[in-house]
């Protein structure tokens, strides 16, 4: 199968063509493209993991874009399989409703709704709910569990259809989706339509600051096109008639950011946390290319140490097992050159990954 991929030439947020390559990880196949035993002899396509900084708005991003239908139509990450996530979503739904929709009989839409875990908590609180997700099998499961789900990619046209049928949404959520889209501008046009004058859009993404401070280089893989920080997002939302009204640091995925957005001049005050985080990001140098070259050389050192430790264990005749097969394991194994000569097997509790 030929997988379509292209390299864009301008910044995904501000469209500037002034982009600097700040570091490179080894090219990998798609992170969740695990294959059955009988296909082990086939060579998988690999794609570059070259990381660019926009010299204009300082957004960090991949420019190589893999066809999203390949990545998401048969997606294997299921949020409901992680008890930590289930609890996270319960609290998230509660806090969003308390703050933005106390009357409860409102419409909430989750984009990238996966198995419907987050929406199930909105539903329990009395909301009308609607999921949008292109992953055919997982979305079908959500529908079976009583969460109405449109099996599609979110777009301005889909947003218009939803509004026509159900009215505007009071709360729209998108978790670990906002870093996955090549055409973010079109996504935001859809969001503006869907939230109308009074709704809010909340998104959660891995936070670049935590990735850099904690050395989470394995969060770089092809699903993640964008590595968001608050600074570049403020003007990006503004350029689409939207306003970032809050930015919170949360602890999922090793450190994430929850942003809350309304129509420009909408009903809610802008929290001081937005300006505070922008200031912190500048202080630690997220807008500087040197920050990322330093990060890359730290990663190389960690890789050398890890290889030494694993080789020593193997030389003592012991075996090495991997605990969990997340997408990030692919980045780690390819970048550090850790293959089947070192790791004997990997276990994972997701039936979507087992025996592959």
Contact footprint for Zn ion (CB under 5 A): 11, 13-14, 16, 54, 56-57, 59
Q: Report the C-alpha gap between 58 and 289 in whole angstroms.
A: 9
| Dihedral over Cα of 156, 161, 163, 169: its sign | negative
Question: How many helices (H) and strands (E) would you count in the chain?
Answer: 11, 15
For 328, half-sphere exposure in the C-beta direction (CA atoms, 13 angstrom radius) is 12
Closer to Zn ion by CB, 59 or 189: give it: 59
Can you read off the two tokens belonging to residue 221?
């893989």
CB of 19 to Zn ion, least distance (A): 8
DSSP β-bridge partners for residue 322: 346
Q: CB nearer to Zn ion: give 13 or 96.
A: 13
**How many angstroms separate the CA atoms of 255 and 206, rounded?**
6
Closer CB to Zn ion, residue 56 or residue 291? 56
Distance CA 257, CA 279 (A): 15
Closest distance of CB 52 from Zn ion, Å:
10
Residue closer to Zn ion by CB (options 59, 228) is 59
The nearer residue to Zn ion, 12 or 209, going by C-beta atoms, is: 12
Q: What is the dihedral of CA 308, 314, 320, 326, to 10 degrees?
A: 40
Distance of CA 147 to the CA centre of its chain: 22
Query: Based on CB atoms, which residue is closest to Zn ion, 232 or 255?
Result: 232
CA 187/CA 339 separation, integer angstroms: 38
Backbone angles phi, psi at 269, to 5 degrees: -70, 150
Q: Exposed, middle or buried, 109 (CB in 10 Å: 0-12/13-18/19+)?
A: buried
User: H or E stretch including 213?
Assistant: helix 208-213
Burial of 203 (0-12, 13-18, 19+ CB in 10 A): buried
Question: In the complex, what is the shortest distance from the CB of residue 55 to Zn ion, in angstroms, rounded to a whole number?
Answer: 8
- Nearest distance from C-beta of residue 180 to Zn ion, angstroms: 18
- The least distance separating Zn ion from the CB of residue 232, rounded to whole angstroms, comes to 6
Nearest to 179 by CA among 221, 130, 116, 242: 221
Give the largest CA-CA distance in the chain.
66
Q: Minimum distance from CB of 230 to Zn ion (Å)?
A: 14
Nearer of residues 61 and 193 to Zn ion, judged by Cβ: 61
**In the complex, what is the shortest distance from the CB of residue 188 to Zn ion, in angstroms, rounded to a whole number?**
15
Nearest residue to 176 (alpha-carbon basis) of 124, 235, 110, 131? 110
Closer to Zn ion by Cβ: residue 130 or 208:
208
In the complex, minimum distance from the CB of residue 14 to Zn ion, in angstroms, rounded to a whole number: 3
Nearer to Zn ion, 80 or 231 (CB): 231
Q: In the complex, what is the shortest distance from the CB of residue 72 to Zn ion, in angstroms, rounded to a whole number?
A: 25
């Amino acid at each position: 199968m030929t997988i379509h991929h292209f390299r864009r030439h301008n910044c995904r947020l501000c469209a500037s063509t002034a982009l600097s390559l700040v570091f490179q990880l080894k090219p990998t196949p798609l992170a969740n493209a695990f294959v059955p035993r009988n296909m082990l002899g086939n060579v998988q396509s690999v794609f570059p993991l070259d990381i660019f900084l926009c010299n204009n708005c300082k957004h960090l991003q991949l420019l190589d874009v893999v066809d999203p239908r390949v990545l998401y139509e048969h997606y294997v990450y299921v949020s409901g399989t992680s008890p930590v996530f289930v609890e996270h979503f319960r609290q998230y739904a509660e806090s969003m409703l308390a703050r933005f929709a106390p009357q409860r009989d409102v419409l909430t839409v989750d984009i990238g709704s996966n198995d419907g875990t987050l929406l199930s908590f909105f539903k329990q609180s009395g909301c009308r709910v609607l999921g949008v997700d292109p992953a055919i099998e997982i979305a079908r499961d959500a529908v079976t569990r009583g969460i109405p789900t449109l099996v599609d990619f979110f777009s301005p046209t889909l947003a218009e259809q939803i509004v026509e049928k159900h009215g505007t949404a009071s709360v729209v959520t998108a978790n670990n989706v906002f870093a996955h889209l090549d055409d973010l501008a079109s996504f935001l046009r859809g969001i503006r339509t869907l939230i109308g004058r009074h709704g809010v859009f909340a998104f959660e993404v891995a936070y670049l600051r935590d990735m850099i401070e904690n050395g989470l280089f394995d969060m770089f893989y092809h699903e993640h096109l964008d590595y968001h920080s608050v600074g570049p997002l403020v003007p990006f939302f503004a350029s689409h008639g939207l306003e970032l009204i809050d930015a919170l640091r949360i602890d999922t995925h090793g450190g994430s950011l929850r942003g809350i957005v309304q129509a420009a001049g909408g009903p809610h005050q802008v929290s001081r946390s937005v300006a505070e985080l922008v200031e912190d990001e500048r202080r630690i140098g997220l807008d500087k290319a040197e920050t990322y070259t330093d990060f890359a050389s730290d990663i190389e050192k960690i890789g050398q140490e890890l290889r030494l430790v694993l080789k020593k264990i193997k030389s003592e005749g012991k075996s090495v097992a991997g605990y969990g097969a997340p997408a990030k394991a692919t980045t780690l194994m390819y970048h550090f050159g850790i293959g089947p000569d070192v790791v004997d097997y990997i276990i994972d509790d997701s039936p979507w990954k087992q025996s592959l």
